[in-house]
Amino acid sequence: MKKILLLPLVPLLLAGCADKNNYEAAILAELQRDTKTVGTRDYKVPAEKLATCIVDVSSKNMPGIFELDPARLTAYRNYTKMLTLTQSQDPKKTMEELQTDFGSPKELVEARSNYTESELECLSSFVMSAEEPTPSEK
């Protein structure tokens, strides 16, 4: 009986993982494209770890209560679209779509702010942990 109940959830789980993975891939691509990212350049923070951290931190301020909440999955798709705006064939049209997808221009700005603040928080935590002396250095 439990197997029958879990069967309808499998597509939802797969779609949720795909949306989150696409968002993380978009972050990683942006970090690798942006040579000005201080953490990956100056502090040798691995872009993969930074991308994972940004996903985790930014997800906390996204709509939806839990990981597979439909609102959260939509947010992952919208954030991915926001991060790939520069690669769009028609950036102006995509920007208009993003404003509609997020609900308003203000909410789009808040989403970009959430992403930027998450990136800075993750960079800060990696830099602070890199600067802490190890027990043998004390």
Cβ-based burial of 26 (10 A; exposed 0-12, middle 13-18, buried ≥19): buried
Residue 136 has pLDDT above 50, yes or no: yes
In the chain, what are the domain boundaries? 10-129
Query: Are the CB atoms for 61 and 114 separated by under 8 Å?
Result: yes
pTM: 0.81
Distance (Å, whole) CA 24 – CA 103 = 23
How do residues 12-61 score in pLDDT, each as one tens digit?
444 447 889 999 999 999 988 876 655 566 777 888 999 999 999 999 99
**pLDDT band of 127, cuts 50, 70, 90:** confident
36 DSSP assignment: T
pLDDT at res. 35: 63
Per-residue pLDDT of 62-107, as tens digits, reads: 998 887 788 999 999 999 999 999 889 999 999 999 999 999 999 9
CA 58 to chain centre: 6
**The pLDDT of residue 120 is above 90:** yes
Pull the structure tokens for residue 126.
């990696």
Between CA 110 and CA 93 the distance in angstroms is 20
Supply 78's token pair: 């919208």
Mean pLDDT, rounded, for 102-131: 92
Radius of gyration of the chain (CA): 18
